[in-house]
Amino acid sequence: MIDLSQHPELYVRQEIEHLEVFVGFETQNRYSVRTPSGEQLLYAFEESGLLGRSFLSSHRPLTIHVVDRDNTEVISASRSFFWFHSHLHVSDGTGQRIGSMQRRFSFLTRKFDLMDATGSVVAEMRGPIFRPFTFMVYQQGQEIGRVTKQWSGLGREAFTDADTFKVEVDTSRTDKDFSLLMLASAISIDLDFFEK
């Protein structure tokens, strides 16, 4: 299994769904996970129902499967339908829970708790209202990571909802499970805030 703690910087790029571009029909999302040099490490895909995608939009129940080049599942992340605050559960390829991400109520910022397998909060993710494309991750008041939506170009931004996210993790202060949780968090942020 790939150890993401060896990669302090990754890019999560949503694949363009041509049916969405031409018809406006919401399809299951697909993502590639790449190094800064462009090497593809992982592939992620959404599993969800047609009615949920059509009528529940970003509130839909879903499972994200992340697989390596050999099509071996590295992580799965799932959430149920929610009204206000999403809660994403993340498991490794064997089904062992490694953590979760829970959105919290907050004025003028978007806040999430990042929790370990036992449910203990290990970090807080904040997305300031005046920096809508940046989510910083703090542990005991110090920044240990961030997820940033990257500009994808005028055509891609205007006509698709296919986004690219840069995931940065201070791997000297975190473990491999935290790196996997950050990867799942980037996809969750896309689904919660940047789906049209």
**DSSP conformation class of 15:** P
Predicted pLDDT at 83: 77
- Distance, in Å, from the CA atom of 40 to the CA atom of 73, rounded to the nearest integer, reads 15
Which amino acid is residue 94, in one-letter code? T
pLDDT in tens, the chain (196 residues): 677 878 899 999 988 665 554 455 567 789 999 999 999 999 999 888 777 766 777 778 889 999 999 999 999 999 887 777 788 999 999 999 999 999 998 888 889 999 999 999 999 999 988 887 899 999 999 999 999 998 766 555 544 556 889 999 998 888 889 999 999 999 988 887 767 5
Closest CA to 151 of 167, 135, 133, 136: 133
Q: What angle do CA 32, 61, 22 make, to 5 degrees?
A: 55
This prediction has a pTM of 0.84
Q: What angle do CA 104, 65, 79 make, to 5 degrees?
A: 30
Predicted pLDDT at 21: 47
125 contacts 101 by C-beta, under 8 angstroms? yes
